[in-house]
Amino acid sequence: MAKHGVYVGEQDTAVSTPVQVETGIPFVIGLSPIQSAENPATVGVPKLITSFAEFVDAFGYSDDWDTYNLCEFAYSHFKLFGMQPAIFVNLLDPATMKSAVAAADKDVVAKKVELTTTAIDSAALVVKVAGGTGSAYVKDTDYSVYYNADGKLTVELLPDSTHYSETSLNIAYDVVTPASVNAAAVATGMEKIELCMTLLGVIPDLIVAPGFSQSSTVAAVMATKAAGINGMFKAKALIDIDASTVTVYSNVVSNKNTNNFTDVNEIVCWPMLKLGDKKFHFSTQLAGLIAQVDASSGAPYVSPSNNGLKCDALIVASGSEVVMTLDQANTLNAGGVVTGLNFMGGFVAWGNYTACYPTNTDVKDYFIPVSRMFDWVGNTLIQTFWSSLDVPMTRRMVDSIVDSANIWLNGLTGSGYILGGRAEMLESENPTSNLMAGIVKFHVYITPPSPAQEIDFTLEYDASYLEEAFA
């Protein structure tokens, strides 16, 4: 058909808008009292959580943090630091990790019998008259079952039941066995981080396993995953020195080296933290602090060091207080350990080095914010240019990638996130044989700012001011 008029068409923009990756997103693995959850998350599958209430609904909650480390992290991250989201993986499976509690008589108090937090509301829960004779009571007719505010499974007699006046009940039930989830199970479960992008569309950049990361086996797997989630994305593994066996600062660095906590993708912490009557692994609060600093800065170019922790004391696992002087804290920093310090008006995280320091002296590896910026820039480039895979490799395609990357890097420079950056396609890195095989390499130069961890002033007496004063 012949056209008559004025027409406008559109062409795709030659440069791509960067898919800017969020930072400070933790992947947390361990145990929760999922037997008490209203809408339990699938065991062993990562779940993205954005609030404390959402966590309780999907994973349950208990103040028994020695058993349920995910509860410690959720309390700290959502309630103390007010950060979100976080990705949780619970490895405790009530369907298989359980044992039977033999039927026994229990006193009824205010029409209720409180069992333990480990008790499971399942078919194994059998309620009978005291002594265990006769038929079992009928659930939701004679009694109801729920987890109370303390996380305890509660059996409550119902007013319409003929057994409402009973003062003792005979109850048999199953309990979960949290000890089934040990360091080996956590190390194996770390593989679940590979599902985050597929299931959630999110890549975590912090890996945390409070209560388990002090194990050299767990830490090694965390570091391996941090080096390449899905074989490409980078993260940092937050590792705790065992504060139950290492109780004085002078043994911390030797323990770090003995356990081979020396990877560029590890950040090692000691000791533990206390707020009121609650105890926290340092890695738990450090994850919240990193997320908080990232959120306020816009990018991970600011160190968490000298930023406030949520604690009123440094402690070891027994609860004994650790009083850290500046010299002692600096000694740990010099060994590649992040610690806490109360020196100028409150407790702060103290230390800028990843675990590779002092053995590795490459600035892109040993400074926490510099290393995390390299991770972030790399993760962003992967996600931004993933859509360019498998398209015809032409000059225009190459120029589009270079131009898009440089526009973004210029923006980072203008924002102060880096001191400068550029992307190039170097002829020396792209031989004809590679181009024929569909392989093209781009060289990205970036310079994140180093943290100003030492500021020196020189004082000098200047006698010339005497002449001016008395002239």
Q: Look up residue 436 and give its amino acid.
A: M
Confidence of residue 1 (pLDDT cuts 50, 70, 90): low
Which pLDDT band, with edges at 50, 70 and 90, does 3 fall under? low
Q: What confidence category does residue 143 fall into, taking pLDDT thresholds of 50, 70 and 90?
A: very high
pLDDT digits 0-9 by tens, 195-235: 999 999 999 999 999 999 999 999 999 999 999 999 999 99
pLDDT in tens, 31-83: 999 999 999 999 999 999 999 999 999 999 999 999 999 999 999 999 999 99
- The answer to whether the beta carbons of residues 154 and 114 sit under 8 Å apart is yes
In whole numbers, what is the pLDDT of the chain averaged over residues? 95
What is the pLDDT, as a whole number, of residue 234? 97
Tell me the pLDDT band of 21, cut-offs 50, 70 and 90: low
Q: Tokens 């950060």 correspond to what residue?
A: 83
**C-alpha closest to that of 16 among 392, 439, 408, 395:** 408
Nearest to 255 by CA among 246, 247, 243, 244: 246
SS3 129: strand
Nearest alpha carbon to residue 45 among 180, 218, 232, 198: 198
Write the DSSP assignment of 259-294 as a string of letters: TT---TTEEEE-SEEEETTEEEEHHHHHHHHHHHHH
Q: What is the pLDDT of residue 17?
A: 54
Strands 337-342 and 266-269: parallel
CB-based contact 38:57 (threshold 8 Å) = yes
Radius of gyration of the chain (CA): 28
Residue 140 has a pLDDT of 96
pLDDT average, residue stretch 310-331: 98
pLDDT tens digits for range 186-203: 999 999 999 999 999 999
**End-to-end distance of the chain based on CA atoms, in angstroms?**
98
What is the mean pLDDT of the segment spanning 271-284? 98
DSSP codes joined into one string, 310-347: S-SEEE-TTS-EE---HHHHHHHHHTTEEEEEESSSSE
Give the model confidence (pLDDT) of 332-356 as tens digits: 999 999 999 999 989 999 999 999 9
Write down the pLDDT at residue 4.
Answer: 61
Q: What is the pLDDT of residues 145-184, one digit of tens each?
A: 999 988 899 999 999 999 999 999 999 999 999 999 999 9
Residue 345's pLDDT is 86
Average pLDDT over residues 232-253: 98
20 pLDDT more than 70: no
User: 362-407, pLDDT tens digit by residue?
Assistant: 999 999 999 999 999 999 999 999 999 999 999 999 999 999 999 9
Q: Does 409 have pLDDT greater than 70?
A: yes
Mean of pLDDT values over 295-311: 97
89 Cβ contact list (under 8 Å, min separation 6): 27, 28, 29, 30, 44, 45, 46, 47, 189, 192
Place of tokens 């509860």: 71
